[in-house]
Amino acid sequence: MANIYKRFAKDWPNADFGDKAACAMFEYESRGTPIPQTETTNGFALGKKWMDITVSMWNEDIKNKQLFVFELIKDGYPIWFLNRVLEEKEK
């Protein structure tokens, strides 16, 4: 998921995608350990936040037939990821 999170946070050039940020995100997702405050924004946490928001919009747009799954596949989103996050999986 780390690469997916990076994709959703690509517009934030100062986001931290280093090893410490990755470990902090892993600890948060696997054990619920709070992400420590640092001088830079944890890029993985930022990416997860924007992924969640974007996926919610995708699900609404797919339901309203304003977006189709094949369009997301064409944009390079992996099928395994789409199968995991989308409510409606009709292609």
Average pLDDT of the residues in 4-14 = 94
pLDDT attached to residue 88: 61
Looking at every residue in the chain, the average pLDDT score rounds to 94
pTM equals 0.87
pLDDT attached to residue 86: 95
pLDDT attached to residue 2: 92
Model confidence band, residue 91 (pLDDT cutoffs 50, 70, 90): very low
CA angle 5/75/23 to nearest 5° reads 10
Residue 89 has pLDDT above 90, yes or no: no
